[in-house]
Chain A
Amino acid sequence: EAQVTQNPRYLITVTGKKLTVTCSQNMNHEYMSWYRQDPGLGLRQIYYSMNVEVTDKGDVPEGYKVSRKEKRNFPLILESPSPNQTSLYFCASSPRLLGETQYFGPGTRLLVL
């Protein structure tokens, strides 16, 4: 089944404790992206990747890191999480350049205490 998977789906952590949210797609898509969703603010892009080893900042990259060493994986790293990073996170992928359907993962709900 073609899909985008994220792990974990739910995470409670404490300020400063490094964490990684994994994202994987099995559709051989070149484009991948991370978003956060907060009430009243809609979806905001954190980072995106046009292909392996190519990543770019979105609108809210501060406090986040990403890597794209393989085509299928695009992990999101929070080196030192803070409470303002409490949010719902979505990973998404698209076949090629962003002019095509983007498929979203199920989301990861993060709470930073």
Chain B
Amino acid sequence: QQPVQSPQAVILREGEDAVINCSSSKALYSVHWYRQKHGEAPVFLMILLKGGEQKGHEKISASFNEKKQQSSLYLTASQLSYSGTYFCGTEARSQGNLIFGKGTKLSVKP
């Protein structure tokens, strides 16, 4: 029931783009995306709700395919500050039970 994230790790050069995927075997109500830097707490990026539109935040955006129960996080023109581990969290119903994937480690090199 834990969502599956892919890839597990990715290394980029500054300015390159990346896509992180999150797939669930269950019907989803919402998908949450967080970024965590080493030694710090996770930080919220965005939420996608069932029936909602694609979200965007500067050069980071995400989509939610309800039919496939998949979400993708798009990072464009990556910056050094994008480095960290990205987690998706899925919610099957609006009831508070949030299940996270194992994370995708993103490293951006100069």
Instruction: Pick out which of these stretches binds chain A: B60-68, B70-78, B99-107.
Output: B99-107
Interface residues contributed by chain A, number (CB under 8 Å): 27
Interface size on B, residues (CB 8 A): 22
**Segment at the interface with B among A10-18, A19-27, A65-73, A103-111:** A103-111
Please, how many angstroms separate the alpha-carbon atoms of A45 and B90 in the complex?
A: 11
> Is B41 touching A98 in the complex (CB atoms < 8 A)?
no
Question: B30 touching A98 by the CB < 8 A rule?
Answer: yes
**Across the interface, which residues of A come within 8 angstroms of B94, CB to CB?**
97-99
Selected contact of B41 from candidates A49, A99, A104, CB within 8 Å: A104
Task: Write the nearest CB–CB distance from A89 to chain B, whole angstroms.
Answer: 11
Q: Within 8 Å CB of B100, what residues of A?
A: 35, 42-45
A35: chain B residues within 8 A (beta carbon): 100
Q: Which of A42, A59, A100, A105 contacts B101 (CB 8 A)?
A: A42
- Write the nearest CB–CB distance from A66 to chain B, whole angstroms: 13
- CB distance B42 to A45 under 8 Å? no
Contacts of A50 in B (CB 8 A): 95-96
Tell whether, in the assembled complex, residue A33 and residue B96 are in contact, meaning their CB atoms are under 8 Å apart.
yes
Give the docked Cα–Cα distance between A31 and B97 (Å). 11
Give A58 to B91 CA distance when docked, in angstroms.
12
Q: Which of A33, A99, A102, A107 contacts B44 (CB 8 A)?
A: A102
- A interface, CB within 8 angstroms of B: 31, 33, 35, 40-45, 48-50, 56, 58-59, 90, 97-107
Residues of B within 8 A of A (CB): 2, 30, 32, 41-44, 47, 49, 87, 89, 91, 94-103
